[in-house]
Amino acid sequence: MQRRTLGTGGLTVSALGLGCMGMSQSYGPPGDRVAMIALLRDAVERGVTFFDTAEVYGPFVNEELVGEALQPMRREVVIATKFGFRIVDGKTAGLDSRPAHIREVVDASLRRLRTDVIDLLYQHRVDPQVPIEDVAGTVGDLVRAGKVRYFGLSEASVQTIRRAHAVHPVAALQSEYSLWWREPEAEVLPTLEVLGIGFVPFSPLGRGFLTGAIDEKTTFAADDFRNLVPRFTAEARKANRVLVDRLAALAARRRVTPAQLALAWLLARKPYVVPIPGTTKPARLAENLGAAALSLGAADLEEIETAAGLEIQGERYPESMNRMVDRS
């Protein structure tokens, strides 16, 4: 697989990474551990070198899973994890990016990931109670101590990105970005380009919606996060299906799948964009990675833009999660 560089410090990763959250939470029952370990190792065999996890996924169990799966090939891969939440009795209890807490989280993550260094450490959500300069300075100390290689932010505003980057170089910003959530194009992407920061889109397939496998009749498991998302009400899914149908028609003409076309579109946006689609299925993994070989020309991109030219119905997050997105 082709490689891409995040930031200006030499962090090189596969053009497509693997988001690991869904193996442990949010999209129904967790995947079978043995099967998920096999899937992670299969991804490495297929050329993936970039794996995304977080302490809060589970909590904790996703880091443990990734650590066990990738330990035999640790030096071949880049592991990203995140801090920023307070976790009490196995549940999130608000944000916490105090410097002392960051250091505690990093030590615990290192143990769970079975490694001596975290390749990319993100602040998971911006904590309005802690100046971002203190956060960046603390991660900088951890970099100098050899516990972390690179610093990242997630769902951060342009102002926050600039303030953090002035204290310690930000290698990557992780935020949602796809054909049905394009807000980063307005201010974030231009800022990243100026500062030389990479961009890692999560949910690049619209939490599965852009694959074409979901419509208004789809039912989700009781513990599936999408039951709480306004964009996934039956009414919104019916309205938003227009985008998927248009994408599917374009994909069929190119003999690819809608998911592959959606991922290839992201890869064509900028050379520093590295999507991290997640899956628990080997067939989906192979399908998603096939997007890296799909080259889109100007005419292809224009057709996709035309197809995507409609208003998507529903908020992308429930209100409780919307409040955690940095708007400073």
Q: Which residues are catalytic, by number?
A: 57
Quick one: tokens of 76?
């071949």
Rounded to whole angstroms, how far apart are CA atoms 108 and 255? 46
Within 10 angstroms of residue 321's Cβ, the number of other Cβ atoms is 15
Rounded to 5°, the CA angle 67-68-72 comes to 95
